[in-house]
Amino acid sequence: MKKLLILINCLILTLSFCTPALAAEAEEDKVKTKGAYYDIEAPDYETGIALLVNADTDTVIYSKNADKITAPASLTKIVTALVVLNECTDLQKKITCSYDAIHSLDGTGSSVAGLVDGEKTTLEMLLFCLFLPSANDAAAVLAEEFGDGKTENFVAKMNAFVQELGCKNTYFANPHGLDDESVKGFDSDTQNRTTASDMYLIAKKALANETIVKMSSKYGKTMPKTNKSDVRYLYNTNPLLNSYSEYYYEDAIGLKTGTTDKAGACLISSATKDGYTYISIAMKGETEKIIDGKPYNTAFLMCRYMLRWAFNNVKMKIIADDNYILGEVGVKFGRGADYVGLVPKSSVASVIHEDLTIDDLTVKLSDSFPEIVDSPIEKGDSVGKAQLMYKDVVVADVELVAFQTVKKNYLWAMFNWIEGIATSKAFLVVLLVVIVVIIVLWFGTKNQRKRKKRRKQRIEVVKDYSKLAK
């Protein structure tokens, strides 16, 4: 009996290390995708960093090194203006230019509006100085005024502001964008840094501010006489706004230029036309690239080129309706169908190149998208979330639903349930134990019969001996 128990334990232990064969292989991803890419044909004056985004939908149309950290130069002043206007909307507020603010720029050779110590002017004029001639002295005065007398306080507000916007790679060390020439990289707290992707978030915020749009879109402004200066004429450093410039673009709106050795030539511009708004960003450009024997600022050329290209080639269009099957997914125990088609819950519209169709996009399923769905499933039932991708950019978010109804095959489901039980480890162990018990009982019964037979035989022998003795 002990030997039999040992045998049973050995069999159970062996089964614990063996897994039954799977009833079926894991289902493959049933959603079929097809990809095709369309890029802007880069001109020979392409800048090192470029980004073109539809501001209505946040759809990226073109991107080159958009997440590469670089110096922002005077693009910094957009944030300076945003922080100031976030604290004060009284454009007629009188501000006095201090000695410390004005002379903090001594020796930099940077762009200024000619503000002088003790000069009194309005917030409005200082903002015009900030945007049009890109005046660093105006930035210094505003930082001191709205930093409780300390520039570092204002800079802290700038950094907090961009963090709230969602900028991940932006840091400001000053309110004007001048580089720290003593530092080569961008790890120092004395060096301004950003990316085109972050600047897009900043630019979009600026476009929502009517004051900034109005000011940055003006090419010229007269600054009235002050207690220290005569009338001054301010001109915008953005030639896309100058109708006499060869860079002129009639639909351009601001926002800001910038140039330093580290940043190169920079420009953020926007344009609205036919109900669309685009933001173009060009950084790490050349200030004097020779093209056809003439020097050109490639940031200006690139921004204009991207805006023109967008309006000529990109449209808002319906790319898929609720009858367009984007793919299929397996159905478990489906009656007459192993798969169900997937369609958008509703029509999908997006900003896309006018030559592209739904067949040129890829479908990216969410992480939670099921590999197989259980039956029954009704037409219109939600299956999961997905994204339509154009290159590496999300064109549209879609909810995929069942295209048709698939009933449940209950007979198949029951058979599968029984099969699952029959092939389970627990069932096999129980079955083995039952078999062993039956064997044990059979042998036990057999042995018992033999013992009874032998006992009976002994009794009969005794009886025979008893008869003989008599």
With respect to residue 40, please indicate whether it lies within any of the assigned structural domains.
no
CA angle, residues 192, 239, 138, in degrees to nearest 5: 45
Residue 420 confidence class, pLDDT cut points 50, 70, 90: low
pLDDT tens-digit series, residues 289-304 = 999 899 999 999 999 9
Residues in the chain, total: 470
Q: Which of 298, 315, 332 is the last residue of a domain?
A: 315
Q: 46, 285 in Cβ contact below 8 A?
A: no
Residue 431 confidence class, pLDDT cut points 50, 70, 90: low
Cross-sheet strand order for the sheet of 264-273? 59-64, 49-54, 276-285, 264-273, 252-260
Q: Select the more confidently predicted residue: 430 or 257.
A: 257
pLDDT tens-digit series, residues 61-111 = 888 999 999 999 999 999 999 999 999 999 999 999 999 999 999 988 899
- Which residues, other chains included, contact 150 with Cβ-Cβ below 8 Å and sequence gap of 6+? 144
Mean pLDDT of the chain: 85
Q: Which of 261, 285, 315 is the last residue of a domain?
A: 315
Same domain, 249 and 354: no
Asked which of 28-37, 156-165, 347-356 is least confident by mean pLDDT, the reply is 28-37
Q: Select the more confidently predicted residue: 289 or 59.
A: 289
pLDDT score of 464: 58
Do β-strands 372-374 and 327-332 pair in parallel, antiparallel, or remain unpaired? parallel
Same domain, 110 and 163: yes
Same domain, 230 and 326: no
Domain residues for the domain of 339 are 321-410
Q: Is 102 exposed, middle or buried (0-12, 13-18, 19+ CB in 10 A)?
A: buried
Same domain, 175 and 294: yes
Model confidence at 34: pLDDT above 90:
no
Phi-psi region of 189 (alpha: psi -120 to 50; beta: other; left: phi over 0): alpha
Q: What are phi and psi of 80, to 5 degrees?
A: -55, -45
Model confidence at 38: pLDDT above 70:
no
Q: CA 272, CA 256: separation in Å to the nearest integer?
A: 16
- Which residues, other chains included, contact 313 with Cβ-Cβ below 8 Å and sequence gap of 6+? 353, 354, 355
pLDDT tens-digit series, residues 445-464 = 767 776 676 666 666 655 55
Residue 409 confidence class, pLDDT cut points 50, 70, 90: low
Total structural domains in the chain? Answer: 3
Percent of the chain past pLDDT 70, that is, above it, reads 81
Q: Is 166 exposed, middle or buried (0-12, 13-18, 19+ CB in 10 A)?
A: exposed
pLDDT score of 465: 58
CATH code, 257: 3.40.710.10
With respect to residue 58, please indicate whether it lies within any of the assigned structural domains.
yes
pLDDT tens-digit series, residues 309-359 = 999 988 888 888 888 898 899 888 778 888 898 999 999 888 888 888 888
The residues that bridge with 390 in the sheet, in sequence order, are 393
pLDDT score of 463: 57
pTM for this structure? 0.74
With respect to residue 30, please indicate whether it lies within any of the assigned structural domains.
no
The structure tokens listed for 285 are 């450009």
Q: Select the more confidently predicted residue: 389 or 424.
A: 389
Q: Select the more confidently predicted residue: 418 or 77.
A: 77
CATH code, 397: 2.60.410.10
With respect to residue 404, please indicate whether it lies within any of the assigned structural domains.
yes
